[in-house]
């Protein structure tokens, strides 16, 4: 049996496709942040070295410098959509320290809009990055939440909701707060991203979702569900 398996294993040679690593004839654009240049310049040097080693000619490489990581997505999107490069390489560095730069980048409403732009591009027949985003992030998260919902329904804790409707509705309640933050700031004069407002919003969302999801719930004196 072992000999038969060994013979079968040696004869089983599926076709393998590997990149040849030849960058000749391709155009590259590197978008590099000037902020934290002591790191980004080293990353740029390594990227240029890798391209040179792969046979990319100097005239086919363009280095686009932007002030910081905040500007990288817009510059990269312009290059990708403009057909100026076969590949766009983004190089930036955000260090969490005493400044609020990290939090500003992470929470800025421009970034959800970029994700929304990719979602909308699917209706136009050109979802450049959407398939990778869905496969790597959306689908695993969706399936995990759906499994929790199914377990809760089976145990009698949750209402018999349809995950394909409930999950998008739940996500919309969370995401819309951030996408509408600029208008909310204009209307109220209050920063929607302040720690106090974020904490209040989190509590409100949990209360809203709990009311829609749980079959039975109890409330304490503060109105929080348990």
The end-to-end CA distance of the chain, in Å, is 60
In the chain the domains, ranked by start, together with CATH numbers, are: 28-107 (3.40.50.960), 130-213 (no CATH)
Cβ atoms of residues 50 and 22 within 8 Å: no
Whole-prediction pTM:
0.46
d(CA 176, CA 204): 14
Name the token pair of 29: 């654009």
**Does pLDDT of 113 surpass 80?**
no
pLDDT for the residue 221:
41
pLDDT for the residue 223:
44
Reported as a single tens digit per residue, the pLDDT across 127-185 is 666 777 788 778 888 999 999 999 999 999 999 999 999 999 998 888 888 778 888 88
Reported as a single tens digit per residue, the pLDDT across 55-82 is 888 888 999 998 887 788 888 888 888 8
Average pLDDT, the chain: 79
pLDDT > 70 in the chain, percent: 71
Identify whether 129 is a catalytic site residue: no
Catalytic residue among 101, 108, 129, 165: 101
d(CA 113, CA 136): 19
């Amino acid at each position: 049996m072992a000999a038969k398996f060994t013979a079968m294993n040696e004869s089983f040679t599926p076709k393998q496709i590997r990149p040849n690593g030849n960058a000749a004839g391709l155009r590259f654009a590197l978008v590099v942040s000037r902020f934290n240049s002591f790191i980004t310049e080293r990353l740029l040097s390594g990227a240029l070295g890798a391209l040179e080693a792969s046979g990319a000619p100097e005239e086919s490489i363009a280095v686009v410098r932007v002030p910081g990581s905040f500007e990288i997505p817009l510059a990269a999107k312009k290059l990708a959509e403009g057909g100026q490069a076969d590949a766009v390489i983004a190089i930036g560095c955000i260090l969490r320290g005493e400044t609020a730069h990290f939090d500003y980048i992470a929470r800025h409403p421009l970034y959800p809009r970029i994700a929304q732009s990719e979602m909308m591009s699917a209706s136009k027949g050109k979802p450049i990055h959407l398939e990778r985003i869905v496969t790597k992030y959306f689908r695993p998260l969706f399936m995990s939440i759906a499994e929790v919902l199914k377990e809760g329904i089976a145990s009698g804790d949750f209402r018999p909701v349809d995950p394909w409707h409930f999950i998008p509705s739940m996500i919309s309640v969370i995401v819309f707060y951030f996408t509408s933050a600029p208008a909310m700031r204009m209307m109220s004069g209050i920063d929607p991203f302040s720690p106090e407002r974020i904490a209040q919003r989190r509590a409100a969302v949990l209360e809203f979702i709990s009311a829609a999801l749980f079959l039975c719930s109890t409330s304490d004196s503060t109105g929080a569900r348990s």
